[in-house]
Copies of this chain bind each other. A is one copy, B any other.
């Protein structure tokens, strides 16, 4: 068994997702920013959390409208996803700069990214001030997926899309690799009954 080295209080959790959060400002100008601190947090009702620093335009926008979208970029938009996480919507029209298209969501007052294959429309149901970041929990009111991202079984074609993962510390985006086991299946060999 390996010896462990203490690295102190860190956020070394792999992988993180690459979530592009869509919001409207007070004048209904669309903005988007990329966050890696987030994920699913409840199955019923379906909820996702995204954490955003106070001071960010997205933070103010979500506080104002109590709504956001979560857009999952595919590998062909890794540069766009990176860019929109590094500049402020106060300085740059990120949709214009990247050529991406803002579409008004159907169920919440927020824009989604037309070119990204998976979109979650979320209304805020819980806010937690944790320190540098505010965590916004959104209930997912609808999920929209590109027709061409769906397989013949109606499920998302994970390999066909090419989703991204964010790797803390390495500061890189990675592709997803092959399956290494079925959930609720590969562990059955430990069952005794």
Chain B residues positioned under 8 Å from A175 (CB to CB): 176-178, 180
Complex CA distance for A189 and B163, rounded to whole angstroms? 21
A13 CB within 8 Å of chain B: yes
A143 CB within 8 Å of chain B: yes
Contact: B17 with A13, CB < 8 Å? yes
Copies in the complex: 2
- Interface residues on chain A, number (Cβ under 8 Å): 111
Chain B residues positioned under 8 Å from A135 (CB to CB): 41-42, 49, 137
- Give residues 109-159 of A contacting B (CB, 8 Å): 114-115, 117-120, 125-126, 128, 130-133, 135, 137, 139-150, 155-156, 158
Contact: A115 with B1, CB < 8 Å? yes
